[in-house]
């Protein structure tokens, strides 16, 4: 399994910020066709969040999806709901175990948990932490930030697994 480079993550998210609204809609529609269950999972999971948080979640989903497809050099196979649920449950259990932990332990656990795609997870964390800054600031409650992290970390995990599968069969 390939680690996605920090440069690829940076170039991809910066490129997503420069596309036109029409191109963004077209690319998002394609992402929805290629990963319908994953997009439905993201949309359903953030439906209780504010409209701004929902919009941010969809944008971050799209950037993460593009990072993985650019890394693969092509579309990935569709992720199935059972696999999404498996990774979601795993991530929820990890967060439950870490909740009462000491801060230094949390930092170490977070580092270990991001080994597979550390730069993609770093992008996600930075985007959530910096959401309230800048011209297009989105104020997230602590709960919304946690929801976005859990949902999009699960997205990273299932796309990473699919990327590994595609790489193992050579395309």
Number of structural domains the chain divides into: 1
CB 98 within 8 A of CB 160: no
Q: What is the spatial distance between Cα 123 and Cα 120, in angstroms, rounded to a whole number?
A: 5
Q: What is the pLDDT of residues 20-66, one digit of tens each?
A: 889 988 988 988 899 999 999 999 999 999 999 999 999 999 999 99
Whole-model pTM: value is: 0.87
Structural domain of residue 160, as residue ranges?
Answer: 6-168
Residue 1 lies in a domain: no
Sign of the alpha-carbon dihedral angle for 156, 157, 158, 161: positive
Residue 157 lies in a domain: yes
């Amino acid at each position: 399994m390939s680690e996605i480079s920090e440069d690829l993550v940076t170039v991809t998210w910066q490129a997503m910020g420069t596309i036109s609204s029409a191109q963004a809609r077209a690319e998002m529609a394609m992402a929805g066709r290629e990963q319908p269950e994953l997009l439905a999972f993201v949309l359903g999971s953030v439906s209780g969040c504010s409209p701004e948080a929902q919009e941010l979640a969809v944008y971050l989903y799209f950037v993460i999806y593009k990072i993985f497809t650019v890394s693969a050099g092509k579309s990935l196979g569709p992720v199935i709901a059972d696999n999404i649920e498996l990774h979601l449950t795993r991530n929820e259990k990890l967060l439950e175990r870490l909740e009462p932990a000491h801060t230094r332990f949390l930092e170490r656990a977070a580092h270990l948990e991001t080994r597979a795609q550390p730069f993609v997870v770093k992008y996600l964390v930075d985007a959530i932490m910096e959401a309230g800054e800048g011209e297009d600031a989105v104020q997230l409650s602590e709960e919304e930030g946690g929801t976005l992290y859990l949902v999009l970390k699960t997205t990273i995990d299932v796309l990473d697994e699919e990327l590994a599968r595609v790489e193992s069969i050579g395309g």
